[in-house]
């Protein structure tokens, strides 16, 4: 059985995610922007937290952890897992991981992918059997994270790795930024019919206060300009015909920063 997924809105525009294995009872949370909504989601379902997976050190992904762990039984606390490369900036970890490492939650193997760019040491978690990918502020719905620490080359490499995963993978990213991302995407990919359709769908969902996250990886491949830097149409729109995908990606990111 695939892991059950619950999306938990936090703060003003963050998302945390719960995954649950019904057979073993294992339950993991991916990132902890704040504790109260996560506690409420666990209590509503009668789940006991067994794992905490942290993608990166930014406050809006970790600040609720101490409060969340305060309710944990002393004899069976949830295991906190995060990047070895970022351990000095993360809350105390029970398990440090790096790209290529894996561990289990219930019956699913969780694979660790280095997705540096937004920060150096940012990781994503991939549950292939359940077709789930937790990307936080690397690959986002119609966007990618701002490059606070890494380089365009690092982020482009990170997104290239994620784009190689199966298209039916559910992408669980960390923020509800999709409305602005859609408006920007249309400036660099204006004739993309899939993007035009998705932008309308996003507007309709947000008007009804519905989330636009998670999304499907294939939809991101078809509409997210940061995954489409090799598309000649985008290069032409940017007056960069013949430029390398990395150069096009770098220009897209620079324009998004100014948008």
pLDDT digits (tens, 9 = 90+) for 122-162: 999 999 999 999 999 999 999 999 999 999 999 999 999 99
Domain boundaries, the chain: 4-258
pLDDT of res. 127: 98
pLDDT confidence of residue 147 = 97
Region 104-115: what's the mean pLDDT? Answer: 96
What integer is the mean pLDDT of 21-47? Answer: 97
Whether 74 has a pLDDT exceeding 90, the answer reads no
Structure confidence by residue, pLDDT tens digits, 225-243: 999 999 999 999 999 999 9
Rounded distance between C-alpha atoms, residue 3 and residue 129, angstroms: 8
Classified by CATH at the fold level, domain 4-258 comes out as Metallo-beta-lactamase; Chain A (3.60.15)
pLDDT for the residue 107 = 86
In this predicted model, what pLDDT tens digit does every residue of 37-51 receive, in sequence order?
999 999 999 999 999
Q: What per-residue confidence (pLDDT) applies to 77?
A: 85
């Amino acid at each position: 059985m695939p892991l059950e997924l619950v999306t938990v809105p936090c703060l003003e525009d963050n998302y945390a995610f719960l995954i649950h294995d019904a057979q073993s009872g294992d339950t993991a949370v991916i990132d902890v922007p704040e504790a109260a909504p996560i506690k409420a989601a666990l209590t509503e379902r009668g789940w006991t937290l067994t794992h905490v997976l942290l993608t990166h050190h930014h406050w809006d992904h970790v600040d609720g952890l101490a409060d969340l762990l305060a309710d944990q039984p002393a004899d069976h606390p949830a295991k906190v897992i995060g990047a070895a490369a970022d351990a000095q900036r993360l809350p105390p970890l029970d398990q440090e991981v790096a790209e290529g490492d894996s561990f289990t939650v219930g019956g699913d193997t969780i694979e660790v992918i280095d997705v540096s760019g937004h920060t150096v040491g940012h990781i994503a978690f991939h549950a292939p059997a359940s077709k789930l990918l937790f990307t936080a502020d690397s690959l986002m719905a119609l966007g990618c994270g701002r490059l606070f620490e890494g380089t365009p080359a690092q982020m482009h490499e990170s997104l290239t790795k994620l784009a190689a995963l199966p298209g039916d993978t559910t992408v669980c990213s960390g923020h509800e930024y999709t409305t602005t991302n859609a408006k920007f995407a249309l400036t660099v990919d204006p004739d993309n019919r899939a993007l035009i359709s998705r932008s309308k769908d996003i507007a309709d969902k947000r008007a009804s206060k519905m989330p636009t996250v998670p999304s499907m990886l294939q939809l991101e491949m078809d509409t997210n300009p940061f995954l489409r830097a090799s598309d000649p149409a985008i290069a032409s729109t940017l007056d960069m015909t013949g430029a390398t995908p990395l150069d096009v990606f770098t220009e897209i990111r620079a324009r998004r920063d100014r948008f």
